[in-house]
């Protein structure tokens, strides 16, 4: 409990904003939009840096990258270029003053002691503003290129538990220690410095399977779910958030629940609808969309023709970027406010081109959320 309190004192993830707003996926080319429009996000370092500084000044609470090692193909090679997330976070933390920046680690690909030290380095660069997203991986093609074989699904989380316990000890143990686990056997381990100031970086996970969710509830401060976020089922969201929080309490943990979404916000509803259709549907990179579906075993061979067509639309418009918030500042603010009412603590948002669109969003939507009582003014 003392550690959780110290975690809460050190980051903007626990500031007075009832609904935290983050930016998701800006380290990857095309962000979270599998689109061919020429203005799509390139994820270049200068653009990421400008975006982080703008977000830091405008009151955005956090930035969450995606750890991705290989593109999904298609005409644009969606996510073909991505900046490594801990390095990215370190640079951004050193160049900002308030915002929380996450680094995302694939436990099976990073030795825990290298990860522990890289994360501490980022945390010192940000004077305690680093967040950590621990993932076990789901995309087989990525592991193949490392020569690493993925464990059976639930065993990935067994390994992640030992991995995380080791990282937490490296951050805490005042002297040498040994790890004698099922997977890790480490002798005379020594790790300095410790994380910045008191406590440790905030930990998040977004597992969706029962094993993944149990891992998050046992270990993490924040749980991200891609399936909450729809304005059409406020009741469903409220129930889901309450269930997750109750399950976490059974582990003695007070977990915060977040979700993800994409935003197309324009002065008029018509403009927003037109741009969403133009960028996300009419100019979808269908090759990349279909590849992402195939990774989830949805192909023309595994489902009927109608189901395939429906899923294809759903993946392009909703599943890849998350629930679309499309409309005027009033409408987007109302819909986001609905998530706060459902008990969600925050949302990580993506934009087709973050630098072009985030200033309008911050100037118009954040003040409305403040007026609706969800954020400090």
Ligand X SMILES: Cc1cc2nc3c(=O)[nH]c(=O)nc-3n(C[C@H](O)[C@H](O)[C@H](O)COP(=O)(O)O)c2cc1C
Applying CB under 6 A, the residues found at the interface with ligand X are: 66-67, 104, 133, 135-138, 206-209, 212, 224, 226, 260, 348
Min CB(173)–ligand X separation in Å? 27
d(CA 292, CA 68): 13
**CB count in 10 Å sphere of residue 343:** 17
CB-based contacts of 301, cutoff 8 Å, min separation 6 = none
Min CB(224)–ligand X separation in Å? 4
220, 247 contact by CB (below 8 A): no
Q: Among residues 44 and 208, whose Cβ is nearest to ligand X?
A: 208
Q: Among residues 63 and 67, whose Cβ is nearest to ligand X?
A: 67
- What count of Cα atoms within 13 Å lies in the side-chain half-sphere of residue 264? 24
Q: Among residues 54 and 226, whose Cβ is nearest to ligand X?
A: 226
Min CB(38)–ligand X separation in Å? 26
Q: Among residues 209 and 299, whose Cβ is nearest to ligand X?
A: 209
Min CB(282)–ligand X separation in Å? 26
Query: Any bridge partners for residue 224, and if so which?
Result: 258
d(CA 303, CA 51): 41
Using CB atoms, what's the residue nearest to ligand X? 212
Min CB(215)–ligand X separation in Å? 8
Min CB(266)–ligand X separation in Å? 25
DSSP 289-342: HHHHHHHTT--TTTS-HHHHHHHHHHIIIIITT-EEEEE-HHHHHHHHHHHHHT
Q: Among residues 66 and 189, whose Cβ is nearest to ligand X?
A: 66
Q: Among residues 44 and 209, whose Cβ is nearest to ligand X?
A: 209
300, 308 contact by CB (below 8 A): yes
């Amino acid at each position: 409990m003392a550690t959780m309190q110290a975690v809460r004192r050190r980051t903007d993830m626990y500031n007075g904003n009832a609904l935290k707003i983050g930016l998701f996926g800006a380290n990857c080319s095309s962000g979270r939009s599998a689109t061919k429009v020429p203005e799509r996000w390139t994820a270049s370092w200068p653009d990421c840096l400008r975006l982080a500084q703008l977000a830091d000044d405008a009151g955005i609470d956090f930035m969450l990258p995606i750890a991705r090692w290989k593109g999904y193909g298609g005409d644009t090679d969606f996510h073909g270029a991505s900046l490594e997330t801990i390095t990215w976070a370190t640079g951004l933390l050193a160049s900002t003053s308030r915002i929380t920046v996450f680094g995302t680690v694939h436990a099976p690909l990073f030795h825990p002691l290298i990860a522990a030290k890289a994360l501490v380095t980022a945390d010192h660069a940000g004077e305690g503003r680093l967040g950590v997203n621990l993932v076990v991986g789901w995309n087989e093609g990525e592991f193949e290129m490392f020569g690493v074989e993925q464990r059976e699904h639930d065993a990935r989380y067994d390994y992640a538990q030992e991995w995380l316990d080791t990282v937490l000890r490296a951050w805490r143990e005042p002297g040498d220690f040994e790890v004698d686990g099922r997977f890790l056997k480490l002798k005379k381990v020594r790790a300095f410095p410790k994380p910045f100031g008191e406590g440790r970086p905030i930990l998040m996970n977004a597992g969706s399977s029962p094993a993944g969710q149990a891992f998050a509830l046992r270990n993490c401060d924040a749980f991200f779910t891609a399936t909450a976020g729809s304005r059409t089922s406020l009741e469903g969201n409220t129930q889901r958030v309450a269930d997750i929080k109750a399950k976490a309490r059974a582990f003695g943990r007070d977990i915060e629940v977040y979700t993800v979404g994409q935003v197309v916000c324009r002065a008029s509803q018509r403009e927003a609808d037109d741009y969403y259709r133009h960028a996300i549907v009419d100019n979808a990179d269908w090759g990349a969309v279909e590849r992402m579906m195939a990774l989830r075993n949805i192909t023309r061979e595994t489902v009927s023709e109608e189901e395939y067509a429906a899923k294809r639309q759903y993946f392009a418009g909703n599943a890849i970027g998350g629930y679309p918030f499309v409309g005027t500042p009033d409408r987007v603010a109302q819909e986001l406010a609905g998530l706060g009412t459902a008990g969600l603590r925050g949302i990580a948002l993506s934009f087709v081109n973050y630098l072009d669109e985030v200033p309008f969003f911050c100037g118009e939507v954040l003040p409305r959320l403040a007026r609706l009582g969800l954020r400090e003014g």
